[in-house]
Amino acid sequence: MNTDISIKIFNLTKSFGNITAVNNLNLGIKKGELFGLVGPDGAGKTTIMRLLTATMMPSSGEAWVAGNSILSEGEKIKEKIGYMSQKFGLYEDLTVMENIIFYADLYEVPQKERPQRIERLLGFSNLTPFKDRLAGRLSGGMKQKLGLACALIHTPEVLFLDEPTNGVDPVSRRDFWKILYDLLKEGVTIFVSTAYLDEAERCTRICLMHKGKILMDDNPAAIKRSLGMPMVEMWSDDARNAIEIIKGIDGVQSVSLYGNKLHVAISRSELVDDIIINLSRSGIVIRGHREILPSIEDIFISQVEGQ
């Protein structure tokens, strides 16, 4: 396997009965990349994460993580990775420090290396003032940072994070991503899944997933440029009722609602006038409009509706 590749996925498939959660996945992820697996609940993100961390066997296909096969070298993979699942196993009746020491024991971190590593991780995650606090008394954001510190105690080559900021407040989300950027500088490969499409913008590369399949795979800027047609933002006091009318107009690729604003992908700019006329016939007034660069969410909706 190419030594610059940290994760290689080949024809990976996982089925549960007649449901295919991961459908013939092929991907290569470079060392030091911040790779985002992006999609809604049910897209297959957690299943992919469990396959790559060797906690679940595929129905078919193969993958290699840090040079080791998920089929035959699962134990070697677990030594080289950090994995923070959606329900990371923190012990709420232990303190911050006791949780970190527990994971240091679990990963058999040498005693002489522990003080320096623990001090660095506490500082890294801004948990030093809280090291004697019970984990159960931490805020949601602080629990996530403690989970990350525990996952990093053995200095992994690849870090897997399954929706790490789900349910976390915006300030803590921002702090969490700052920590991830600092890890990138140290050459750690980060594989993160998220349902927050705005977080996709923070990744160096993203893969849009829907029902176990890849819709798109590229850097965020390239994906936002990929629509190949104009996108117009329109605002109206009756935006919700405008959606079905707009969808029925020839040349409209997709339409999505953001409060009182609509994002409409159209085949040509001149179509804006047709949309406004059609809406006015139904008594719906467009109060203004402008052409915009699509967001990741706009592209995702366009791709799903296109299928």
3-state secondary structure of 283: coil
Q: What CATH architecture is 231-306? A: 2-Layer Sandwich (3.30)
| Per-position pLDDT tens, the chain of length 307 | 566 899 999 999 999 999 999 999 999 999 999 999 999 888 999 999 999 999 999 999 999 999 999 999 999 999 999 999 887 788 999 999 999 999 999 999 999 999 999 999 999 888 999 999 999 999 988 999 999 999 999 999 999 999 988 878 888 888 888 889 988 988 999 999 998 888 888 999 999 999 999 999 999 999 988 878 889 999 999 998 999 899 999 999 889 898 889 999 998 888 999 999 999 999 999 999 999 988 888 888 888 876 6
In this prediction the pTM is 0.87
Provide the residue ranges of all domains of the chain, joining segments of one domain with +: 5-224, 231-306
CATH of span 5-224: 3.40.50.300
